[in-house]
Amino acid sequence: MEIQNDQQTLSANDTQTILSRLASRLSCRDFDGSRIAREELLLMLSDALEAPSSCNQQHWHFIIVDDPQQLARAAELAGGNPHFRTCSALVYLCFQKGWTHDNFSVVQGVAAAGYHLMLSAHLRGYHAIWNAGIGDPEGVRAMLDLPSVFDCQGAIALGRAHPDAPARKPPRRPLNSVVSFQTFERPENTIYPVENANTYPFHAVSRDSNPYAQWDPTQWSWAQLADYRAWSVWAKSPLNGVYTSRRQGEASERELDLIPSLPTEAKVAELMPWGGTSTVTLARRLPLDASLTVVELHENNLHFIQDRLPREGITHSVEGALFSGTSLPFATQSVDLVVIAQSLEHMADPAAILREVRRVLRNEGHLVLSVRNRASRYGAEWARSEARGQVPLQGPFTPIGPKRLQQLLCANFEVEELHGIGQSAGGDSEVLKEGLDRFRRRIIALRASPA
């Protein structure tokens, strides 16, 4: 039997044009709130059904939510996905359980259809974003009236991008770092530390429970920390208000209350702010004649922060610089203020960095430092539950207790003022300036001068 092949061979130019168009797809978290006709949505879903499916079973189901009230409900359930409110439609990716086959092949098929849907939207001039985090599973199940034999593995938000939405596509890893021939080969800095074990069964790992996660950053190399943070910083677009923490609340402001009066044209440095949330708060505090340099481990972090700051209304000029090993890119005794906002506990060698801070600070300069307190109620909660899950996107960390903090500081700094911030495990920003109870608060914040 002869099989007819109706595929047409494209020219090299046509092929490259199509592939370049597909490669320009990027995730959008800032939609304009306009509607998409249901006929258009159905055309995109029809395209999605052309994706491969294990054994051609097609055990997928797609639930389109386009009612504004339902979208608002979906946003409430998702918590950290406000774009659920402003997208035109959410397409929930569902599959029938009991036919997962080996290696989650049915789930793979739903994922393939989801990506096909996003490409269809992209080619039709719409924007999309894939969301694995859709919120409370039972709440979503109830909202969708999803039978127990079906499950939901995510949702794709579709719509038109807001005119001011970020247009930079998140960077991709170099090809030679993720591809090898015949056998496994990968750069060491892209393989992250884990706890020693004989095996690492996939089914034993989840976001909330990962017995193999290595939370101690001193067990990571600086190169591994740089690599981990460099790509995950783009887990969200650099929008106004992104990466704010409900646990932190107003505590960032209280930490920066420790900033002293600065000299004219002060030189300020902030170390490892990752997504730049603390940079926004700091920049708003500085005199207009002060210069601010953000020092990070990887240029991707700097690009993200530089994209974000104008969206936050920051007009202050902010420079970016990279660590060179553990060396700071400043001349000796050239900096008036160094700010380390809850990032010391993310460092592979915090003692070395503090020695460097002492080197670059002027004799009359200051260090403003805050850490999450291991000896607090939060520290106990971290050890009991948080640290048993997956390492967060900003990298591994271990809260630092008062004694350890004193050991780190004593050789190079004299503490001028110390505050305990936040009594509960999260949310409040009450400040305690005196007494031993300061050392049991969620955050220890201090101002120190060179010894």
- Assign residue 335 the CATH number of its domain: 3.40.50.150
Domain shared by 265 and 119, yes or no: no
Pick the last residue of a domain from 159, 179, 204.
159
Domain shared by 106 and 255, yes or no: no
Domain shared by 430 and 298, yes or no: yes
Asked whether residue 296 is assigned to any structural domain, the reply reads: yes
Please state the length of the chain: 451
Asked whether residue 315 is assigned to any structural domain, the reply reads: yes
Asked whether residue 219 is assigned to any structural domain, the reply reads: no
Domain shared by 283 and 430, yes or no: yes
Give per-residue pLDDT as tens, 401-442: 999 999 999 999 999 999 999 988 777 899 999 999 999 999
Domain shared by 260 and 139, yes or no: no
Domain shared by 295 and 432, yes or no: yes
CA distances, 121 to each of 93, 164, 272, 355 (Å): 16, 19, 37, 52
Tell me the pLDDT of the chain averaged across its residues: 94
Domain shared by 444 and 305, yes or no: yes
Asked whether residue 243 is assigned to any structural domain, the reply reads: no
What is the spatial distance between Cα 366 and Cα 256, in angstroms, rounded to a whole number?
12
Pick the last residue of a domain from 143, 159, 175.
159
Give per-residue pLDDT as tens, 124-159: 999 999 999 999 999 999 999 999 999 999 999 999
Q: How crowded is residue 127: how many other Cβ atoms within 10 Å of its Cβ?
A: 24
Asked whether residue 200 is assigned to any structural domain, the reply reads: no
Going by C-alpha positions, the residue among 126, 175, 147, 168 that lies closest to residue 63 is: 147
Give per-residue pLDDT as tens, 14-24: 999 999 999 99
Asked whether residue 234 is assigned to any structural domain, the reply reads: no
Confidence of residue 317 (pLDDT cuts 50, 70, 90): confident
Q: Taking the alpha carbons of 323, 247, 380, 368 in that order, is the dihedral positive or negative?
A: positive
Pick the last residue of a domain from 159, 174, 194.
159
3-state secondary structure of 235: helix
Is the predicted pLDDT of residue 116 greater than 80, yes or no? yes
Beta-sheet strands, E only, within 283-347: 291-296, 318-322, 335-341
Count: domains in the chain: 2
Confidence of residue 1 (pLDDT cuts 50, 70, 90): very low
In contact, 133 and 80? CB cutoff 8 Å: yes
Give residue for tokens 């719509």. Answer: 159
The CATH number that applies at residue 143 is: 3.40.109.10
Asked whether residue 189 is assigned to any structural domain, the reply reads: no
- For residue 8, the model assigns a pLDDT of 65
In contact, 225 and 326? CB cutoff 8 Å: no
What domain range is 66 assigned to? 26-159
What is the spatial distance between Cα 256 and Cα 116, in angstroms, rounded to a whole number?
47
Domain shared by 392 and 261, yes or no: yes
Is the predicted pLDDT of residue 10 greater than 90, yes or no? no
Going by C-alpha positions, the residue among 364, 343, 322, 356 that lies closest to residue 445 is: 343
Q: Is 53 left (phi over 0), alpha (psi -120 to 50) or beta?
A: beta
Q: Which amino acid is at 442?
A: R
Burial, 224: exposed, middle or buried (Cβ in 10 Å; 0-12, 13-18, 19+)?
Answer: buried
Give per-residue pLDDT as tens, 31-66: 999 999 999 999 999 999 999 999 999 999 999 999
Is the predicted pLDDT of residue 13 greater than 90, yes or no? no
- For residue 2, the model assigns a pLDDT of 47
Asked whether residue 55 is assigned to any structural domain, the reply reads: yes
The set of residues, in sequence order, having a beta carbon less than 8 Å from that of 247 and lying 6+ positions away, is: 378, 425, 426, 427
Domain shared by 136 and 280, yes or no: no
